[in-house]
Amino acid sequence: MSATTTERGTASDTAGPRPGRPRVLLAPITVTPSKPLTPSHLKGLLWTDVMYRATGLLADVSYRYSPTTYHLTEQTLGFWEYLDRTVGDADYSDLSEEQIGGLYVGYRAEPEKADAKALRPYAEAVEDAGWVHPAGARVLRLWRAHYARLGMHDPGLEAHQPPALSTRQALDRLTELGFCLDLRACGGPVYLDATRHGLPLRQIVDADGRPNYLACMMRELLPLVPDFDEVVLLYDRELEADYQLVQRVLTAAGTTVRRVVLGRVPIDGRIRSARHGGWEGHTVGDLLARAGDEGSEEAVLRLGMRLYFIAALGAGQQQSFRHEVLGQSLARARRLLAGDRHPDPAPTAQVLARHRKDHLHVNPYRLTSALLARHRPAPARRLLEAVYL
C-alpha cells in the first residue's frame, strides 16, 4: 500500500493493520482543482467523510484521494496551458476559486484545444517534479480551508501523492489481467477491454499517448487493491458505465468491490457540469459565507450540512438544492446537539454495525437518516463527535 494513503482506525491514523480487523479502501472520484466546489461536489465529499469516519471505528480504513494522480489528465494540463497562453505569468494568490473557475469555463468553451506537443512539458513537470500550476495550488489551498471548517478529514489535498505505477506498468498489468487492447504499435489508442463481460470498449490512452482519468485510476488503484478486503468506489451517476468497467478490473485484481452511486444536486431544477458555470451563489464558499462567521456554532454547521447532503438529499438527484431546507437541517442539528432526547445507550460500534448489511463499510445514508428518527433514542454525543463533528 502506498505510504501516502490515509489510514484511519480507532486509535491513530498512523497505526498499522491490526490482526482480525478487515481492511477497507475508500476511493471516491477526485475533483480536479480547476473550479469551485459545488453542492454536487460537497455531497460526494460529505458522504465519503462520514463513511470514512464511521467505518474506521469498525475496520482499518484507507482513504485514497490524490489530486496528484489526476493532474495528468487533459482537462487539467490543458487548462494550465491555456492559462499560461492567455493570462500569462499572473499572480493567482489573491484570486477566489470562483474567479479561477470562471477562467476554466472560458477554457472549456474554446473550440480548439492544445495538442499533445504543447502539453508534454506540463506532463513531464508533473511526473518528474510533482509540479502544480499556481492556479491549481491556489484552489487546493482554498479547499483545505473549506474542509477544515466543515470538519472533513483532509486526505492530502496539497500532498504529493504520485501513483505507484507508471502508465506503461499499469497497461502491462491490465494486459496480464486480460483487460487491455493496445493499438499503439499501429498508431492507435489503448482501450480498456471488458467485452467478454458484455461491456463496451473504453479508450483510456489516446493515439498521442495521453491518458484519461481511467488510465490514471488504474495507475493508482491496481497496486493498492490486493491488500484490502473491500474497495468502495464513490462516483457520479453519469460515470456508471466507466465504473462498471473499473469494478470488473479491480475484482480480477483480487478484491471485493462495492460501488456507491451518487446523483448530482440540481440547481433550480437543472443538473449542469461545473465546467459550464451556473454555480454562482451556490458554491461551497458561498454556503459557508451564508452560515456566518467562523467559530459560530461550528458543530451545528458540521452536523447540519451532513444531515442535509446525506439524509435530506439521499443518493438520488430528484431534489434541487434549497437554502430553506438546508436551514431546516441546521435547526435539526441544533436540537440534536442540545440533547433534549434520551441518548442511545448502545455502544458506538454496535450502533454503526447496524448500518453495514452485507458489506464492510458503514452506509452513510442509513446511519444519518437514523439520527432523525423520532421513535428511536437520540444519537449519543460520542457518536456525533466521532463521525459528524
Reported as a single tens digit per residue, the pLDDT across 276-329 is: 677 888 899 999 998 876 556 899 999 999 999 999 999 999 999 999 999 999
Give the range among 12-26, 149-163, 215-229 with minimum mean pLDDT: 12-26
pLDDT score of 8: 54
Residue 302 lies in a domain: yes
> What is the structure's pLDDT at 14?
39
| Integer Cα distance of 295 and 13 in angstroms | 26
Q: Is residue 1 part of a domain?
A: no
Say whether pLDDT at 15 is over 80. no
3-class SS of residue 163: coil
Cα–Cα distance measured from residue 43 to residue 313, given in angstroms and rounded to the nearest whole number:
9
Smallest CA-to-CA distance from 360 within 51, 65, 11, 152 is with 51
CB-based contact 65:49 (threshold 8 Å): no
Longest dimension (CA), the chain: 70
* Least confident window among 93-97, 312-316, 375-379: 375-379
Q: How many domains does the chain have?
A: 1
Q: Is residue 279 part of a domain?
A: yes
The dihedral through the CA atoms of 133, 86, 79, 119 has a sign that is negative
DSSP-derived secondary structure for 195-252: GGGT---EEEE-TTS-B-HHHHHHHHHTTTGGG-SEEEEEEEGGGHHHHHHHHHHHHH
pTM for this model (two decimals): 0.92
Phi and psi, residue 28, nearest 5° = -75, 160
d(CA 194, CA 171): 14
- Using DSSP bridges, classify how beta strands 256-262 and 230-236 pair: parallel, antiparallel or unpaired: parallel
Q: What is the CATH number of the domain that holds 364?
A: 3.40.50.620
Q: What are phi and psi of 238, to 5 degrees?
A: -65, -15
Indicate the DSSP class of residue 255: S
Residue 37 near residue 146, CB atoms below 8 Å: yes
Instruction: Report the mean per-residue pLDDT for the chain.
Output: 91
Measured CA to CA, the distance from residue 52 to residue 153 in angstroms comes to 9
Residue 1 pLDDT exceeds 80? no
Confidence grade of residue 375 (pLDDT, cut at 50, 70, 90): confident
- Does residue 245 belong to any structural domain of this protein? yes
List the domain range (segments joined by +) for residue 16: 6-387
Give the CA radius of gyration of the chain.
21
Report yes or no on 291 lying in a domain.
Answer: yes
- In DSSP terms, which residues pair with 8 in a beta bridge? 61
In a domain, 303, yes or no: yes
The pLDDT tens digits for 198-233 are 999 999 999 999 999 999 999 999 999 999 999 999
* pLDDT over threshold 70, residue 2: no
In a domain, residue 159? The reply is yes
Kindly report the number of other CB atoms within 10 A of residue 309's CB atom. 26
Distance CA 13, CA 9 (A): 6
Residues 6+ away with beta carbon under 8 Å from 179: 192, 193, 194, 248, 249, 252
- In a domain, residue 318? The reply is yes
Q: What is the pLDDT of residue 290?
A: 87
Q: Position of cell 491514523?
A: 13
